[in-house]
């Protein structure tokens, strides 16, 4: 049975056939502002059996010259996945538990639509293999109740996997949100991002922050920034 997406239409990319779904009570929580850029997630990610040897984590400096801020991005598993809907080959499927699976190998024609359309910049394109690859929440682990590899090694728990109760207990000043604004488009996701508990809004407005400076940029002086540019 197809699942209704957030825009009210039947989503042809949903599937109800599941071998073993990710348990309902376990959720993924990301908090980029806790990231220390240690790269443990990158190394752990490539150990996952569903994409072994290839790391699906996207870890960036936000503004290398001005700030130490880093951002780890995993697939947010949108309720209405843009990547799947713009896929001309119908290669990306969202299973009934809300996980947007990586591209089906026989179908993916490597058009790069998903890479360019994903609002979070998640999918990667393996050009030689003619195959899009992306985070699938370590489906071999998450579907049996284990933490995805990245969440199991993240020392600052910027990437965390557990129950809502655990998160409420461990982070009393934060609460999860899963609604994002990109221009006029609202996207809801299975993966949560942590926002202040007393935040007046439930929506993380990504596009309104596009031209804001990285966190902590005023802590580095201009001289240091210049030397980085010259180096």
Q: What residues between 72 and 101 interact with another protein by CB under 8 A?
A: 73, 82, 85-90, 101
> What length does the chain have?
231
Q: In whole angstroms, how close is the CB of 51 to another protein at the nearest point?
A: 7
For residues 198 and 172, give the distance between their C-alpha atoms in angstroms, rounded to a whole number: 11
- Measured at the CA of 209, the angle between CA 84 and CA 117, to 5 degrees, comes to 15
For residues 72 and 171, give the distance between their C-alpha atoms in angstroms, rounded to a whole number: 19
Q: Which two tokens stand for residue 57?
A: 């984590």
Q: In whole angstroms, how close is the CB of 198 to another protein at the nearest point?
A: 9
Selected binder of another protein within 42, 146, 153, 220 (CB under 8 A): 42
Q: What's the longest Cα–Cα distance across the chain?
A: 60
Selected binder of another protein within 4, 183, 224, 227 (CB under 8 A): 183
Q: Which residues contact 17 (CB under 8 A, 6 or more apart)?
A: 96
Selected binder of another protein within 27, 29, 44, 58 (CB under 8 A): 58
Q: Which residue has the tokens 């801020």?
A: 69
Please tell me whether residue 26 binds another protein under the rule CB under 8 A: no
Q: In terms of CB distance, is 164 or 171 closer to another protein?
A: 171
Please tell me whether residue 125 binds another protein under the rule CB under 8 A: yes
Q: In whole angstroms, how close is the CB of 129 to another protein at the nearest point?
A: 5
Distance of CA 22 to the CA centre of its chain: 16
Q: In terms of CB distance, is 63 or 166 closer to another protein?
A: 63
Selected binder of another protein within 170, 201, 224, 226 (CB under 8 A): 201
Q: Which residues contact 7 (CB under 8 A, 6 or more apart)?
A: 80
Q: In whole angstroms, how close is the CB of 147 to another protein at the nearest point?
A: 15
Please tell me whether residue 230 binds another protein under the rule CB under 8 A: no
Selected binder of another protein within 4, 10, 16, 20 (CB under 8 A): 20
Which pairing describes strands 94-95 and 14-15: parallel, antiparallel, or unpaired? parallel
Q: Which of residues 210-229 bind another protein (CB under 8 A)?
A: 210-219
């Amino acid at each position: 049975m197809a699942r209704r997406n957030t825009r009210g239409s039947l989503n042809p990319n949903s599937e109800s056939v599941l071998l073993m779904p990710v348990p309902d009570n376990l959720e993924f929580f990301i908090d980029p502002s806790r990231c220390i850029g240690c790269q443990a997630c990158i190394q752990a990610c490539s150990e996952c059996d569903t994409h072994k040897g290839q790391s699906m984590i996207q870890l960036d400096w936000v503004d290398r010259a001005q700030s130490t801020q880093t951002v780890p991005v995993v697939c947010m598993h949108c309720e209405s996945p843009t990547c799947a809907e713009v896929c001309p080959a119908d290669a990306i499927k969202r299973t009934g538990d809300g996980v947007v699976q990586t591209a089906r190998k026989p179908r993916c024609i490597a058009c790069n639509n998903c890479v360019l359309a994903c609002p979070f910049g998640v999918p990667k394109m393996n050009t030689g293999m003619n195959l899009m690859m992306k985070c699938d929440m370590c489906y071999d682990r998450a579907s049996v109740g284990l933490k995805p590899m990245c969440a199991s090694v993240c020392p600052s728990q910027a990437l965390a996997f557990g129950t809502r109760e655990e998160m409420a207990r461990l982070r009393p000043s934060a609460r999860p949100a899963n609604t994002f604004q990109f221009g006029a488009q609202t996207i809801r996701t299975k993966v949560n991002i942590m926002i202040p508990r007393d935040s007046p809004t439930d929506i993380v407005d990504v596009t309104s922050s596009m031209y804001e400076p990285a966190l902590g940029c005023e802590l580095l002086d201009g001289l240091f920034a210049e030397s980085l540019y010259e180096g």
